[in-house]
Amino acid sequence: MAKLKKPRRTKPATRKEFSVLEETCWKDLTGAWRGMSTKAMVKPGACGAWSIKDVVNHIAAWQEATTKIMPILLRRGKIPAGEFGLKTFNAKHYWEDRSRALTASRDRLNKSRKKLIAALKRVPEKRLIDVKNQVGLWAKYSTYEHYDEHLFNVQDFRIRIEHRK
Q: Is 44 within the bounds of a domain?
A: no
Per-residue pLDDT band for 97 (boundaries 50, 70, 90) equals: confident
Query: Is there a domain that residue 76 lies in?
Result: yes
Residue 20 lies in a domain: no
Residue 4 has pLDDT above 80, yes or no: no
pLDDT in tens, 18-75: 999 999 999 999 999 999 999 999 999 999 999 999 999 999 999 999 999 899 889 8
Number of domains in the chain: 1
H, E, C per residue of 35-61? CCCHHHHCCCCCECCECHHHHHHHHHH
Per the domain annotation, does 12 fall within a domain? no
- Which residue from 51, 30, 33 is spatially nearest to 42, judged by alpha carbons? 51
H/E stretch holding 97 reads: helix 86-97
Q: Check pLDDT > 60 for residue 3.
A: no
| Res 83: pLDDT | 59
The whole-model pTM stands at 0.89
- Where in the sequence is the domain holding 81, given as residue range(s)? 53-149
Q: What does the buried/exposed string (b/e) look like for 98-120 if buried means 16 or more CB atoms within 10 Å of the residue's CB?
A: eebebeebbebbeebbeebbebb
Q: Please, which pLDDT band fits residue 164 given cuts at 50, 70 and 90? A: confident
On the question of pLDDT at 88 being above 90, the answer is no
